[in-house]
Amino acid sequence: MTSVIGSVEQTSVASRPAAADLRRPRGQLIRRHPRLVIGGGLVVLLLFVAIFAPLLTHYDPIVGDIENSLDPPSAAHWLGTDDQGRDVMARVLYGARVSLSVAAISVTIGVVVGVTMGLAAGYAGGTTDLLLMRVIDALLAFPGLLLAISITAALGAQLQNAMIAIGIVAIPVYARLTRAQILALKEREFVTAARAIGVAPIFIALRHLLPNMANALIVQATLTTAFAILQEAVLSFLGLGAQPPTPSWGQDINYNQRYITNLVWWGTVGPGLAIFIAVFAFNFLGDALRDWLDPQFRRRG
């Protein structure tokens, strides 16, 4: 039992510097990891906008004033209005709720199903590994966006179905990542020692293997969130995501693109900038987390 504890403690050494960084003074953390602070700040700002959208604007995102239709940006309407007199800024703020909720639920589906399949395939091996990986290969045979469009079209053009479709597309990424991590970890000394003293496989997987690959899963979840936001925007643009009059960035770009030729650009610029900022924020945070959680990078730093 002592050898098992000692081995497990050795595997957790790499994660201690990251925890130690959190205990550093705030100014030192900003100096050492400015990208992490910037990326985290942008994500927190997006969450703040999504949660407190009703407090950030007094305009209704669904009901507009037809007399003020297609007004250009002004002090009253920072991003102008659409052809129904709805404030574009209000729809952008409320649209953050749709995009972030779709991203959160779809990533959760991908993580839960993908990690479970990867754990089973990597640890059990043999026929289980062969069958599960063939299912993953079948999902990877289709381009991600085309698969999401096909699933959503088959299930019906609804926001809930878009969440399921994007989650299914994310499953292979987590399954293959988890399987690769398990294959590298399951022959380590602490796993061998745990098996020798009779620890059940399920407890080995949950208590010893999963914690040792948590860093990789956290980084991948952050990057996949950016991809999910972009996919939701594409599905909504094609009419397969959120349905009118629900505020949605992709849907609003599609709806307002008809007026671009008349130089009414603000209806598409607002949602487009929102998509850019959201995708950039999560990608930036994912890259920063990858560097921060990498022991070799920390030693070089």
In a domain, 127, yes or no: yes
Residue 33's pLDDT is 73
Return the bridge partners of 87, or none.
81
In a domain, 8, yes or no: no
Closest CA to 39 of 275, 210, 292: 292
Q: Over its length of 301 residues, how does the chain's per-residue pLDDT go in tens digits?
A: 444 444 444 444 444 444 555 455 555 656 677 888 899 999 999 999 999 999 999 999 999 888 999 999 999 999 999 999 999 999 999 999 999 999 999 999 999 999 999 999 998 889 999 999 999 999 999 999 999 999 999 999 999 999 999 999 999 999 999 999 999 888 888 888 888 888 888 888 888 888 889 899 999 999 999 999 999 999 999 999 999 999 999 999 999 999 998 899 999 999 999 999 999 999 999 999 988 887 665 555 5
Q: How far apart are CA 219 and CA 282, in angstroms?
A: 10
Q: How far apart are CA 301 and CA 296, in angstroms?
A: 9
In a domain, 2, yes or no: no
Q: How far apart are CA 247 and CA 90, in angstroms?
A: 9
Q: How far apart are CA 159 and CA 246, in angstroms?
A: 10
Burial 51-70 (b: 16+ CB within 10 A, else e): eebeeebebebeebeeebeb
Residue 12's pLDDT is 43
The DSSP output letter for 71 is P
Closest CA to 31 of 40, 21, 41: 21
- Total domains, the chain: 1
Q: With beta carbons less than 8 A apart as the criterion, state whether 110 and 170 touch.
A: yes
In a domain, 70, yes or no: no
**Residue 98: other Cβ atoms inside 10 A:** 24
φ, ψ for residue 87 (rounded to 5)?
A: -70, 125
Q: How far apart are CA 49 and CA 42, in angstroms?
A: 11
In a domain, 269, yes or no: yes
Residue 25's pLDDT is 53
**What's the CATH code of the domain at 120?**
1.10.3720.10
In a domain, 81, yes or no: yes
Q: How far apart are CA 108 and CA 72, in angstroms?
A: 40
Return the bridge partners of 81, or none.
87
pTM assigned to the model:
0.85
Residue 265 lies in domain: 26-61+76-300
In a domain, 1, yes or no: no
In a domain, 122, yes or no: yes
126-133's contacts with Cβ under 8 Å and 24+ in sequence apart are 129/179, 132/175, 133/175, 133/179
**Residue 24: other Cβ atoms inside 10 A:** 13
